[in-house]
Chains A and B, each alone.
Chain A
Amino acid sequence: MAETQGQLLPVYVLADESGSMHPYVGDLNAGLASLHRALLGEPMAAAKVRFSVIGFANSVTERLILADLRAESELPRLTASGGTSYEAAFAALLRRIPQDVDTLKSQGYRVHRPAVFFLSDGQPNYGEAWQDRHRELTDRSVTKAAPNIIACGIGQAQAETMLSVATQSEFAFISVPGAQLGESIAQFFTALTKSVVESGNAMASGNAELVVEKPEGFRLAIDEV
């Protein structure tokens, strides 16, 4: 244990970019931009976060990797087309997270358990074995730096699916029926910002690994099943 350069929390936004998200892709991008603005106003927390944005449809697009948001002038823009491959999404994280943690550690940083914020509006492609990839990703005996996953389902997303994706039942949310999807997405990013700020501030001074805020307009998926 030499001197550490700093202590970091890797945060991943894993966003559904399937075709069904097309009407809301503007809301997604607005949410990312507001998250960026909010974190720039929280320099203490922003310094401790490395931010990645990964979009998924039938395949995965890595749009931002381990960014220091204070150094970014603009966040990447998401698009929407194609299917909804949860398998591709979790396989990408399974490859990406151990590599990223090693990279940060090799730069002399102390790394906290990564946090994944998963946002999807629907069901995964039929017949995929995404659960196997998900299990490998979240099993700490397989993936040492297995992330905490917070799952937010919007629109038609089913509570059971979000509960399967989230690593704790209190990390699984679904939007309140009848709520505007655009509004739900905005609230998702507001909650994500709060979680990042509070986790960033707590991790250096206390015992929280991850502080999770329930987005307004969402409810715990566990209440649904």
Chain B
Amino acid sequence: MPNFPFGKRREPERKDRSGPGPASVPPPKPPPPLPAASSPPAYEPPPYEPPPPYEPPPYEPPPPYEPPPYEPPPYEPPKSGREAKAPARPPSPAPTPKSPQAAPPQAPPEPRREKGARHAGRPSPDRWARIVLGRPSPEFEPKPPPSDPYRPDTLFDGWSTPAITVRLASVRGDAHRYGGQPRQDDIAVAVHERTGAVVFAVADGVSQAKQSHVGAALACRTAVQDVMRQLDGGKTEVDWRRTVSAAAYQLVMRVTRGAEPSAEQRKEAQSLLATTLVTGLVQPLERGQLGVYLAHVGDSGAWLLHRGAFHPLLGGKAEREDGVFSSSVRALPWVPPQIEGTWFGVPEDGALLVGTDGFGDPLGDGTGMVGQTIKLELNRPPREPRALAQLLDFSRETFDDDRTLLAIWPRHRLEEPGGGPAGTATGTGGAVG
């Protein structure tokens, strides 16, 4: 696997950065220190005023229901000629035959929609069909997850600051949909207004931990809150160990309900709430580039997507020396002895991807069908945030884990409504400087 070519991996404690990358890619400047707060105002809670007593409004029965008159929509015959249609694709190959010598891996065929085709004009009932990459996962109606806490199957979000465009999605894996388990991945993202930094956390709950979905949610929110607080306090370097420890502590506190934990309660937190965590922040730099800090516990991944190649920024899972694959993970509330934020630069035509292994495992090194599709769709930010959710929920046999993906671009890569990218690559936006 190629090393990250931009030569910008840096451990904050050391000032000796490795050399610059290839000449074709102008290396981003080192990160500017986060601006110190001039004088963070002390928080004063407003005086408490009890709310007025509740008085229910007088009940008025609703008017009787009258259905609106039915008007059939005018029929529009399909336009002839070259309408957008998904490329035809041969039926998926038969399951692996008994013979072990059969069917060597082949070049990836075109992705396809599960049924039907892309539509033009009238919406097709299959317009939300899953994108199939390779042999599809079986089709079935998902079972509901446990009721408390409410945990939707899919979440997606998207927005831009003046300098940074964010798209994200988290989808329940087929194994959990089939088994009626909740989505155990989670994600939280926030903008720190004064610095213009986008602060994020992505977590992958360990499936053996019964409430790892709660652990993942707690870890994400706590990590983002802690980084925001550190930025509020005017720190020029985020203490990532503090952030990760805060997330771990929150998991333990969930078990002890605020009391000091015993050794047994720590074990209970590990077996009940264990989750991986990647947290970090993205800052706008000069010339439309971005600077990224990342810290992590466990196997979730991060990649720089640049000019069609996926450059892994974190270790990720690897096959062991004995040639068999193990999915064992290290997870919070266990905190590794060494936690450092690592800095990377994102070139002005690059994108940062942070994802759980439900995304990273099928991606592999990004040279197969999944990578081809992702890089095509995420070369620039998709206009609609929900497009990322549909893309991430691709169907591929045996890859049935929850998937979460955060994608961040310099905003000038976004095609703004009304046409054209937003401004030039020189915009720095935000309040950094």
8 Å CB contact of B368 from A2, A70, A72, A107: A2
CB distance from B287 to the nearest CB of A (A): 33
CB-based contact B175/A204 at 8 Å: yes
B47-55, B376-384, B394-402 - interface stretch: B394-402
A135 to B321, CA, bound (A): 20
Binds B, one of A40-48, A85-93, A126-134, A149-157: A40-48
State the CA gap A103–B103 with chains docked (Å).
11
**Complex Cα distance A209/B324, Å?**
11
Residue of B nearest to A42 (CB): B178
Q: Give chain A interface residues in 1-43, CB to chain B under 8 Å.
A: 1-8, 43
| Chain B: CB-nearest residue to A51 | B98
CA distance A48 to B174 in the complex (A): 13
Task: Give Cα A201 to B208, complex, Å.
Answer: 11
> Which one, A60-68, A187-195, A217-225, is touching chain B?
A60-68
Contacts A101-B323, A111-B324, A113-B326; is A205 near B398 (CB within 8 Å)? no
A144 vs B138: C-alpha distance when bound (angstroms) = 33
List A contacts of B178 (CB < 8 A).
43-44
Residues of A81-108 at the interface with B, using a CB-CB cut-off of 8 Å, are 99-101, 103-108
Query: A206 contacts the other chain (Cβ, under 8 Å)?
Result: yes
B contact patch SS: loop
Cβ B208 vs Cβ A208 within 8 A: yes
Q: Is the CB of B105 within 8 A of A112?
A: no
A202 interface hit (Cβ, 8 Å): yes
Task: Please give me the residue from chain B that is nearest to A112 by CB atom.
Answer: B325
Q: Tell whether, in the assembled complex, residue B370 and residue A206 are in contact, meaning their CB atoms are under 8 Å apart.
A: no
Interface residue from B96, B135, B327, B402 paired with A71 (Cβ < 8 Å): B96
Q: How large is the interface on A (under 10, 10 to 19, 20 to 34, 35 or more residues)?
A: 35 or more
B157 within 8 A of A: no
List chain B residues, Cβ under 8 A from A8: 398
Q: Is the CB of B363 within 8 A of A3?
A: yes
Contact between B327 and A44 (Cβ–Cβ < 8 Å)?
Answer: no
Task: Please indicate the chain A residues that have their CB under 8 angstroms from the CB of B176 in the complex.
Answer: 205
User: What CA separation (Å) do A66 and B173 show in the bound complex?
Assistant: 26
Q: Does A145 contact B (CB under 8 A)?
A: yes
Cβ-defined contact, B365 with A2, below 8 A: yes
8 Å CB contact of A1 from B1, B108, B137, B326: B1
Annotate B98-131 by CB proximity to A: 1 below 8 A, 0 otherwise: 1011011100100000000000000000000000
Complex-state Cα separation, A43 to B206, whole angstroms:
22
**B179 and A201: CB pair below 8 A?**
yes
B88: Cβ under 8 A from any A Cβ = no
Q: Which residues of A contact B (CB under 8 A)?
A: 1-8, 43-44, 47-48, 50, 64-68, 70-72, 99-101, 103-108, 110-114, 140, 144-146, 201-209
What is B's interface to A at a CB cutoff of 8 Å? 1, 94-98, 100-101, 103-105, 108, 134-135, 137-138, 140, 173-176, 178-179, 184, 206-208, 318-319, 321-329, 331, 358, 361-371, 396-402
11 cross-chain CB contacts under 8 A: A1-B319, A2-B367, A3-B362, A7-B399, A44-B179, A111-B324, A145-B323, A205-B400, A206-B208, A206-B327, A206-B329
7 cross-chain pairs, A with B, having the tightest CB-CB distances, nearest first = A3-B368, A206-B207, A108-B105, A6-B398, A3-B364, A43-B138, A103-B100
